[in-house]
Chain A
Amino acid sequence: MNEMDNKWIGKNTIRPDGADKVTGRAEYGADTIMPGMIWGKVLRSPYPHATIKSINTKKAEELDGVFSVATSSDCVDFPVDTPVILGIQDIRWMARNVLAKEKVLFHGHPIAAVAAMTEEIAEKACELIEVDYDVHPWAIEIDDAIKPDAPILHDFIKFDGKPSNIAGTLEHKKGNIEEGFKDADIIIEKEFETAAVHQGYLETHACLVSVSPDDRTTIWSSSQGQFMVRAMTSFITGIPQSSIRAIPAEIGGGFGGKTIVYLEPVATILSKKSGRPVKMVMTREEVMRASGPTSGSKSKVKIGAKNNGKITAAQGTFYLQAGAFPGAPIRGAAGCCLAPYDIPNAHTFGYDVVSNRSKVAAYRAPGAPIGAYAVECVLDEVAEALNMCPLEFRLKNAAKEGTKAVHGPTYPVMGYVETLEACLSHPHYKAPLKKLQGRGYASGFWFNAGGESSAQVNITEDGNVVVTTGHPDIGGSRASIANITAELLGIDVNRVSVLIGDTATIGFSNLTGGSRVLFASALVVTESTNQVIDILKDRASKIWNIDKEAIEWENGEARPAGDNAGKFKPLTLVELAEQATPTGGPIGAGHQVNTVGAEGGFATHICDVEVDIELGIARVIRYTAAQDVGKAIHPAYVEGQLQGGVVQGIGWALNEEYIYNKDGKLDNPGFLDYRIPVCSDLPMIDTILVEVPNPQHPQGVRGVGEVPIVPPLSAIANAIYDAIGTRFYSLPMSPPKVLEKISD
């Protein structure tokens, strides 16, 4: 397809779901009701670590207005020593995270749940549940969890043959690391720490579930995957997937945090036991205490380079918190951290560490910001020691097409170098700085993902188009799909409506996550639309009685081509739809496939900060993010992904952190003290969309959603150094920490 001729691809069209969202009509997880609906509430652990000796629910059951009570004894039993893998999750852990079984492993861990006439009664009933605990010592921080006499969370997890809180490791190796460091003229090694941070999606987890006496189950909930909801609920409750219909509500943000279930299986059990639809909505405090943040971390990075600026060796060790159950995103940390560079000798190593915190969940490029933070800060120091511009230094070592990455693959066409060049030629790079202002740079990478996707494209009787896909739309993907469909069919974008199907109406589609949605759904929508075009040509061929091959589809109509050119009056989509019945019936096509060919995404950011050295406050005053986005199907929503990711990174760098008190409880479970950036904290976030199309995708799409959160942590740390000459090795760089270090 010729770029210049695009009518809809690359245009900022109005999103199909927009009107509903600006008028309050859109229905999110907590916005629906069903007749006879009752309310569910969760009883949560008051201790960070304890064995559950017994649970007595009798008093709760007897309270007026209570319909049903659920505990882990109502769930399918998954023995702790047998993995049950679903995607990247293990159902053994998922079931125990949803309702604690043998032990409670963090403060806020669900133990039981009650469904009652009102939320208030359900809460009261929860208080009547008697739990007998055997309280154990606990470990919150990584150092406490890995010291020799640490309290062990899971007895059967062994490391080096001994019970341990190290639940897994992962490493990547390339070349010969010792030789690499021998070749280096300069070597810098530093240690880093980051605090656990929450995705901070505004919509709290919510669902409404109705189970009939024959177990037919309808789940209305907001998640990053209705099929994930169906599968996990099926595993945990034992109801077959065919009996569960999971309907995706509009989702009020997820950023990875809604790729697992918390409430759906519990509400299903409560509904099954009560015979009533059960609604459950978490409070903000419950979200903060018991839903996944991402890992806090400790790491050590060592980089060696020659005086000519070539990196000879790099080594990184990353310890990431998993929370109560195994599964820290060490792959993102150890796998992405060196990905932008062509480094002959490298070794990265990740440790998955469990401790008495809530189980981590995916958060935008899981693990990658942690790895990149350490590496990009050390690179800044190396560049300084070599007296090189940090961008030129990166350019000198940049990975290109053909580079073998430390994490394995050999890169195809990619646009990392282009992001560096775009930054070097951007006015921001040369803009003057005032006193106590500084500029920092950093790059980042995310794998991106393909995976299963399904779509159905149907032509309505009046000749318009309905597209159904299976991925919840968090950031405007429906708008992009409308653009692509309209482009392919050559019709006005307003004639295309795009819907998200439920598990009964569309084929299996994997999670909205990994920056995969548009990549994958564009593939299946393109294939389905091409099939529809083929059918349309076929119908025209029947009407004209000529060969299908002699027909072209152009500008929304079938035209006779070749020898027949000009012989018949073209047939428009509307005309063909009118004749659908006599020419063969309804017109539509679907496609389902495991998509492949998702290529990684690279970004480079420039950040300016200003530091109030008397108060220790660093503020971001200018920000520019350049990213290889493949092809921006809807540029405004691509920019939005970059801007949103950057700002989450700014929060992570400066003020966000999980703070635990001496009793092992989270001390800041609300937006007053868990400080996500507010509007007045920020400047405009400039974006540079570098377009190096992904050759393996019909429209050239690359995932764009995750990369932008990778560079900010180090870009800001490097900018602060540039402003005041002090380097920070621990996040967040909150005012007390900054001031303390400056005054030292």
Chain B
Amino acid sequence: MSDVKFISPDTLEQAVDVYSKSSKEGKTKILAGGTDLLVQIRSGISQPDTIIDIKNIKELKEISNDNGSYTIGAAVAGAVLEEEKNFGNNWPGVLEALRLIGSEQIQGRASLGGNLCNASPAGDSVPALIASGATVKVHGPEGERDMPIESFHSGPGKTNLKNGEIVVNFQFPKKQKNSGDAYLRMIPRTEMDIAVVGCAVNVTIENDKCVDARVALGAVAPKALLVEDASKALIGSNFEKEAVEKAALACEAACNPIDDKRGTISYRKKVSKVLFKRALEKAIERAKKG
């Protein structure tokens, strides 16, 4: 370990250059907030020989608002994003999902990019990002590309990033009038737990009718899911009982969970329906406010 390298490049190009030359076999690791990476190093799960700290790279720390379209740097910590008041007014669901990660101490460090790239099926911000319709910009040896969040992961702990690619930022669509998003998770305690089920809902309402809806679930499958059948059930409805029930059943049907120390299959399925309904209610309330 005494020959492990630590570098903190100032530009994306430098970072990608080092990363692409040595990222094979996972021996080089990107460090954002380190709240996943350091735990993995401590337990021996990850033993990189080079650590690239990306927090000195401008693009990754930037928050910008272009006429209502937000771009959030991949390494921006939760506590920092919260201070950007207007972001929370636009995307309260995304912010609350990010803010649910760990404690205030974890919030001082944990980033959207880290949460996404760590690729835990239970990552809290991921369903909210999916529901928001955000895309992620990645930069690699072959240049830049954008990906929808829902196609970012290939399985638990696995992403579709190519060799040497780094996540740069998240681009949010302009928030629609009368739309609102929300994220809820189930944990046994009130804080400091990993989601047993997470659900994000983003709806747009016109004349009491649902004109757009995106529903996403976390911790119920190998990766976070966009539940298109739930969206279909909602779009065009007045959120009448039958439509909501149909969407809830679609959520339950989309679940493909495991039994583990945090919850059973049957528990996760039941809870996905409940959380969906509660998150929907919250999203509708927010949508109605603007």
A4 at interface (Cβ–Cβ under 8 A)? no
Q: Is B267 touching A672 in the complex (CB atoms < 8 A)?
A: no
Q: Is B267 touching A617 in the complex (CB atoms < 8 A)?
A: no
Given known pairs A615-B271, A739-B270, the reply for A678 and B261 (CB within 8 Å) is no
Given known pairs A614-B274, A675-B188, A680-B190, the reply for A736 and B1 (CB within 8 Å) is no
A-B contact count (CB 8 A): 56
B194 at interface (Cβ–Cβ under 8 A)? yes
Measured CA separation A613–B264 after assembly (Å): 17
Digit string of A630-659 for contact with B (CB within 8 Å is 1, else 0)?
A: 000000000000000000000000110001
Q: Is B267 touching A740 in the complex (CB atoms < 8 A)?
A: yes
A547 at interface (Cβ–Cβ under 8 A)? no
Q: Is B1 touching A616 in the complex (CB atoms < 8 A)?
A: no
Measured CA separation A619–B193 after assembly (Å): 15
Given known pairs A615-B274, A739-B270, the reply for A680 and B261 (CB within 8 Å) is no
- Tell me which residues across on chain B come within 8 A of A673, comparing CB atoms: 194, 261-262
B176 at interface (Cβ–Cβ under 8 A)? no
Most buried by B among A616, A655, A659, A736: A736
Given known pairs A615-B271, A681-B189, the reply for A736 and B261 (CB within 8 Å) is no
A668 at interface (Cβ–Cβ under 8 A)? yes
- Tell me which residues across on chain B come within 8 A of A734, comparing CB atoms: 188
Q: Is B188 touching A735 in the complex (CB atoms < 8 A)?
A: yes
Q: Is A672 touching B192 in the complex (CB atoms < 8 A)?
A: yes
Digit string of B247-290 for contact with A (CB within 8 Å is 1, else 0)?
A: 00000000000000111101100110010000000000000000
B42 vs chain A, min Cβ distance (A): 9
Measured CA separation A365–B188 after assembly (Å): 26
- Tell me which residues across on chain A come within 8 A of B191, comparing CB atoms: 678, 680-681
Q: Is B267 touching A678 in the complex (CB atoms < 8 A)?
A: no
Given known pairs A615-B186, A615-B274, the reply for A736 and B192 (CB within 8 Å) is no
Digit string of A355-391 for contact with B (CB within 8 Å is 1, else 0)?
A: 0000000000000000000000000000000000000
Given known pairs A615-B274, A659-B261, A740-B266, the reply for A735 and B190 (CB within 8 Å) is no
A434 vs chain B, min Cβ distance (A): 19
Measured CA separation A735–B196 after assembly (Å): 10
Out of A615, A655, A659, name the residue touching B189 (CB < 8 Å).
A655
**Nearest CB in chain B to that of A661: its residue:** B261
- A window 313-332: CB within 8 A of B: none
- B window 175-194: CB within 8 A of A: 186, 188-194
- Tell me which residues across on chain B come within 8 A of A667, comparing CB atoms: 261
Measured CA separation A442–B193 after assembly (Å): 30
- Tell me which residues across on chain A come within 8 A of B196, comparing CB atoms: 735-736
A556 at interface (Cβ–Cβ under 8 A)? no
**Nearest CB in chain A to that of B266: its residue:** A740
Measured CA separation A285–B45 after assembly (Å): 14
Q: Is B190 touching A678 in the complex (CB atoms < 8 A)?
A: yes
- Tell me which residues across on chain B come within 8 A of A677, comparing CB atoms: 189
Most buried by A among B43, B189, B193, B266: B189
Q: Is A736 touching B189 in the complex (CB atoms < 8 A)?
A: no
Counting chain A residues whose Cβ lies within 8 A of the other chain, the interface size class is: 20 to 34
Out of A672, A681, A740, name the residue touching B194 (CB < 8 Å).
A672
A554 at interface (Cβ–Cβ under 8 A)? no
Q: Is B267 touching A739 in the complex (CB atoms < 8 A)?
A: yes
At the interface, is chain B mostly helix, strand, loop or mixed?
loop
Given known pairs A614-B274, A615-B274, A617-B188, the reply for A735 and B261 (CB within 8 Å) is no
- Tell me which residues across on chain A come within 8 A of B189, comparing CB atoms: 655, 675, 677-678, 680-681
A144 at interface (Cβ–Cβ under 8 A)? no
Measured CA separation A678–B189 after assembly (Å): 8
A663 at interface (Cβ–Cβ under 8 A)? no
B162 vs chain A, min Cβ distance (A): 32
Measured CA separation A668–B194 after assembly (Å): 13
A578 at interface (Cβ–Cβ under 8 A)? no
- Tell me which residues across on chain A come within 8 A of B186, comparing CB atoms: 615, 617, 735
Measured CA separation A616–B271 after assembly (Å): 9
A743 at interface (Cβ–Cβ under 8 A)? yes
Q: Is B266 touching A655 in the complex (CB atoms < 8 A)?
A: no
**Nearest CB in chain A to that of B42: its residue:** A283
Measured CA separation A652–B191 after assembly (Å): 17
A155 at interface (Cβ–Cβ under 8 A)? no
A120 at interface (Cβ–Cβ under 8 A)? yes
Out of B188, B190, B262, B270, name the residue touching A743 (CB < 8 Å).
B270
- Tell me which residues across on chain B come within 8 A of A659, comparing CB atoms: 261
- B window 151-191: CB within 8 A of A: 186, 188-191
A195 vs chain B, min Cβ distance (A): 12
A322 vs chain B, min Cβ distance (A): 24
A156 vs chain B, min Cβ distance (A): 36
Measured CA separation A131–B47 after assembly (Å): 25
A107 vs chain B, min Cβ distance (A): 15
Out of A615, A671, A681, A739, name the residue touching B190 (CB < 8 Å).
A681
Measured CA separation A617–B1 after assembly (Å): 45
Given known pairs A615-B274, A735-B188, A740-B266, the reply for A672 and B193 (CB within 8 Å) is yes
- Tell me which residues across on chain B come within 8 A of A668, comparing CB atoms: 261
Measured CA separation A617–B196 after assembly (Å): 12
Q: Is A736 touching B264 in the complex (CB atoms < 8 A)?
A: yes
Q: Is A678 touching B262 in the complex (CB atoms < 8 A)?
A: no
Taking A672-B192, A735-B263 as given, write out 15 further A-B residue pairs in contact, using a Cβ cutoff of 8 Å, ordered by the A residue number. A120-B1, A617-B186, A655-B189, A659-B261, A672-B193, A673-B194, A675-B188, A675-B193, A677-B189, A678-B189, A681-B190, A734-B188, A735-B188, A739-B267, A740-B266
What are 10 A-B pairs at a CB distance below 8 A?
Answer: A120-B1, A614-B274, A655-B188, A668-B261, A675-B188, A681-B189, A735-B186, A736-B263, A740-B266, A740-B267
Closest 10 CB pairs of A and B: A736-B267, A680-B190, A614-B274, A659-B261, A667-B261, A680-B191, A681-B190, A655-B188, A736-B264, A678-B192
